[in-house]
Amino acid sequence: MMMQGIDETFAGVIFLGYHTGTTNPQGVRAHTISRVRLADVRLKGVSVSEAGIKAAIAGHFNMPVTMVSGDDAVVKETTALLGDVEGAVVKWASGFHSAKTLILEAAYQLIRERVKKAIGRIKDFKPYKLAPIHLDGFQKLPSLGSSKLLKHRGTHRCAQHQIHRQGHD
């Protein structure tokens, strides 16, 4: 999940090059963790993208998300979930496999500007807190990875394609 090493010593997190979640029909290459395995991931009943999952991990350490970059759909999706985080739209979705993009140097410049702005506003952002956690994963095929997942305490199969996990945080 690209959150290894995170702890309470960080002031905030920045998400670069993100995609919308699997349930969002607007984004380029929309997926949540794996487009092959998962049909949906929900935290407390709300469908979330990888940005939502990682925001909850950061929130566990009392750390806010400050900025996201990607296509127009992921910036919209992330700000709808997390509030007024800085967004760098570097491409505009026109289909699952296609987008109109900024030239590379313009994308780099926009990302730099938004990161600087996010750092300047660090006190404006709030951690995404969800404790206690209720996580639901909806698999495309019921057998994919479920045996490993079901070994965790607090995890059970609710339906043929759904696994639920509840935890303190």
Q: Residue with structure tokens 């995404």?
A: 128
**Is residue 158 over pLDDT 70?**
no
Q: DSSP assignment, residue 65?
A: E
**Is residue 155 over pLDDT 70?**
no
Of residues 144 and 10, the one with the higher pLDDT is 10
Looking at CATH, the fold of the domain delimited by 13-167 is given as Rossmann fold (3.40.50)
User: Considering only CA atoms, which of 45, 47, 78, 43 is closest in space to residue 64?
Assistant: 78
Sequence ranges of the domains in the chain: 13-167
> How far is residue 1's CA from residue 4's CA, in Å, rounded to a whole number?
8
For the CA atoms of 30, 36, 42, 47, what is the dihedral angle to 10 degrees?
Answer: 20
For 17-75, write each residue's pLDDT tens digit. 988 877 777 888 876 676 556 666 777 878 888 898 899 999 999 999 999 999 999 99
- Residue 47 to residues 24, 38, 64, 85, 120, Cα–Cα distance (Å): 9, 12, 19, 19, 30
**Is residue 164 over pLDDT 90?**
no
Mean pLDDT for the chain? 82
What pLDDT score was predicted for residue 146? Answer: 54
Rounded mean pLDDT, 118-147: 77
β-strands 46-47, 38-43 pairing = antiparallel
Of residues 45 and 109, the one with the higher pLDDT is 109
**Is residue 131 over pLDDT 60?**
yes
Contact 44, 56 (CB under 8 A): no
